[in-house]
Amino acid sequence: MFYSPFTSLFVASVLTIISANPLPSPTGFSVTINRSFHQRPPVKSSSLPVCNVQPIEREFKGLQSKYRDVDKNFNNGINVGPVNTSAIVEDEAEAPFIPPVLVHTMPLDDYVSGNLDIMYYGPLQIGTPPQELTVDVDTGSADLWFPCDCPDCENKQFEPLESSTCEESNETFSISYGSGTADGQLMRDTVSVGGLEVRRQWFGAARSLQGDFNGLPNDGLLGLAFSTVAQSGKATFFENLIAEGLPPMFSMHLARHHDDSAVCFGCIDRLKTLDPGIVWISVLSKAYWSISMDAINVNVNKTRELQLATALRAIVDTGTTLIYLPEAVVSEFYAVIPGSTHVFQPEFEFYTFPCSTMLDIEFAFGQNRFAVNPADFNLGMTAPDSPDCVGGVLPLSAASGFPQDLAIVGDEFLKSWYSIFDYGSDGGNARVGFSPSINNAR
Ligand SMILES: *[C@@H]1O[C@H](CO)[C@@H](O)[C@H](O)[C@H]1NC(C)=O
Ligand SMILES: *[C@@H]1O[C@H](CO)[C@@H](O)[C@H](O)[C@H]1NC(C)=O
Ligand SMILES: *[C@@H]1O[C@H](CO)[C@@H](O)[C@H](O)[C@H]1NC(C)=O
Ligand SMILES: *[C@@H]1O[C@H](CO)[C@@H](O)[C@H](O)[C@H]1NC(C)=O
C-alpha cells in the first residue's frame, strides 16, 4: 500500500488507478530532498498577468496527435536491451568522429508568452558548409526534422542544394506536430549541435507544414526520445552520438524567463543544480522517458491536505509546456482546493482556483517526492483583476483519446528540477535523474 513519511494533517482522499503495466523496482541511490525552497510567500494576485489560454489550447490539440499511438509505442519499448551501437553506425567508411572535449552545451532560447515559458529551442548546424537552423528540443518524440523547399513555410529552411554532403532518399516522412502535420521526405546529412557532429544523420525534410506551426520561433524539432517511437524508424541524433562514444546521457536546464537554459550532451552541468544529489528513477519503457508516478500530494494553506495514490505512466516531456494528468485524478486534485472550478471550452478543459490560495504540490516518483514551484503552477488570472487563476495541472480526458493511466510532465515541473536522461550508464538500464534546479535559488 502507499507509504509516505509526510506528517499529514489528514488524508482527504485516496484514489488508486490500476496500471496494466508492471512497475519496476527502484534502482540507483536516493537522497533527501531539501523541500524548503518551494515554500515561498504566496504570489500577490495584483502582480499576476492574465492567462492567455490560446497557447494552452494549441498544446492540448497537439498532445492528442503527438500521443495518439502512445500505447503501441509504449509496448514497443518494453524489453528493449541496451542501445546496439553496431546497428546504428551504418556503412560508415571513415573512423567515427571522436568528440574533442567532454562538455558540449546547446544553449536554449526560451519562447515566453504572457506568464508562460512556452518552449525551449536552440541552434543546430546542418550540411557542408553548415547552415544554422533552430530546433525545439523535445524528449517526447524521436524524429529530427525541419522545413526544406517548403513554399508555405515562414521560418528558416534547409537548402539541400547548397550542401555538398546532403543525400536525398525517396522514403517519405509525415509527422503530427502541434496541431498540424509536417510532410516530406527523408534525407541524410552532417548534423552538429554544440560541437558534436554526426555524419549521415537521417532527418525529415518537411516540404509542407499544415496547421499553426507558423508563428512559432523555432524552425524545426530535435526529438530526444528513444528511436522505438521515431516515425522515420531511424536512430536519433543522440543515439548516433552514443555510438560515437559520447557518455550515454544528456541533461537539461530549463530556466524561468532567463536566457541561460541549455542541454548538456554527454554531461551533467553541476552549476545548474542546487546540490549534488541526483534521484534516479527507472524508465518503464524505452519508448518515451516514462517513469512511474506513484502519488500526488497537495497542501492548501498548510491546513488542508490531499494524498492521492496513483499508478501512472508519466512521460517526462521537455516539448510540453504544462502538466497533464488523467481526468479523474485532476478532478480529485482540484476538489481539495476550495473555490476551484472546472471550465469547459469547445476543444479542451481546464480548472481555475482562487489566486490567494497557498499551494504546495508534489509528485512522487518511487519513494521520492518532487515539489512544483507554486509560481509555475499558477498560469495567471482568468481576467484582469479576477480573484481566480488558471491551474497548471490539466485533464487528459478519455473522450479525447488519452489512456487513463497517462501523465505528461512538461516544463512547468522541469523548471524546478534539473533533469538527466540516461540511456544506460546503469548497465544498460535507462533512467531519469532529477536534481534541485538552480532556478529555485533565484
Ligand atoms: C535548504 O535550502 C535552503 C535554500 O537553498 C538553504 O538556505 C538551507 O540551508 C537548506 N537546508 C538544508 C538542511 O540543507
Ligand atoms: C546489433 O546490430 C548488428 C547490425 O544490425 C547485428 O548484426 C547484431 O546482431 C546486433 N546485436 C545485438 C546484440 O542485437
Ligand atoms: C527510389 O525508388 C525507386 C523505385 O522504388 C528505387 O528503384 C530507387 O532505388 C530509389 N532510390 C533511392 C535513392 O532510394
Ligand atoms: C488561504 O489563505 C488565503 C490568504 O490568507 C486566504 O485568502 C484564503 O481564503 C485561504 N483559503 C483557504 C481555503 O483556506
What's the grid cell of residue 331? 478532478
How many CA atoms lie less than 13 Å away from 182 in the CB half-sphere? 28
Q: Which of 305, 358, 359, 389 to mutate to test the pocket of ligand 4 (most atoms within 8 A of CB)?
A: 358
- Closest ligand to C-alpha of residue 186 is 3
Whether 385 is a known active-site residue: answer no
Q: Kindly give the distance from the C-alpha atom of residue 192 to the centroid of ligand 2, in angstroms, as a whole number.
A: 26
pLDDT at 245: 86
Whether 183 is a known active-site residue: answer no
Q: Which atom of ligand 1 is nearest to the CA of 441?
A: 5
Give the Cα separation of 55 and 59 in Å (integer): 6
Which residues does 121 contact at the CB level (< 8 Å), separation at least 6?
A: 108, 109, 111, 134, 135, 136, 137, 217, 218
Q: Kindly give the distance from the C-alpha atom of residue 240 to the centroid of ligand 2, in angstroms, as a whole number.
A: 15
205-223 pLDDT, tens digit each: 999 887 666 678 899 999 9
Give the Cα separation of 115 and 291 in Å (integer): 28
Record the pTM.
Answer: 0.84
pLDDT confidence bin for 140, thresholds 50/70/90: very high
pLDDT at 43: 52
277 touches ligand 1 (CB under 6 Å): no
Give the Cα separation of 436 and 277 in Å (integer): 8
164-210 pLDDT, tens digit each: 999 999 999 998 766 678 889 999 999 999 999 999 999 999 998 87
Rounded to a whole number of angstroms, the CA Rg of the chain reads: 21
pLDDT at 8 over 70: no
Q: Kindly give the distance from the C-alpha atom of residue 178 to the centroid of ligand 1, in angstroms, as a whole number.
A: 40
Lowest mean pLDDT among 27-36, 152-161, 322-331: 27-36
84 touches ligand 2 (CB under 6 Å): yes
The secondary structure of the chain, three-state, reads CCCCCCCCCCCCCCCCCCCCCCCCCCCCCCCCCCHHHHCCCCCCHHHCCECCCHHHHHHHHHHHHHCCCHHHHHHHCCCCCCCCHHHHCCCCCCCCCCCCCCCEEEEEEEEEECCEEEEEEEEEEECCCCEEEEEEEECCCCCEEEEECCCCCCCCCECHHHCCCCEEEEEEEEEEECCEEEEEEEEEEEEEECCEEEEEEEEEEEEEEECCCCCCCCCEEEECCCHHHCCCCCCCHHHHHHHCCCCCEEEEECCCCCCCEEEEECCCCHHHECCCCCEEEECCCECCEEEEEEEEEEEECCCEEEEEEEEEEEEECCCCCCEEEEHHHHHHHHHCCCCCEEEECCCCEEEEEECCCCEEEEEEECCEEEEECHHHHEEEECCCCCCEEEECEEEECHHHCCCCCEEEECHHHHCCEEEEEEEEEECCEEEEEEEEEHHHHC
pLDDT at 178: 64
pLDDT at 426 over 80: no
- Closest ligand to C-alpha of residue 42 is 4
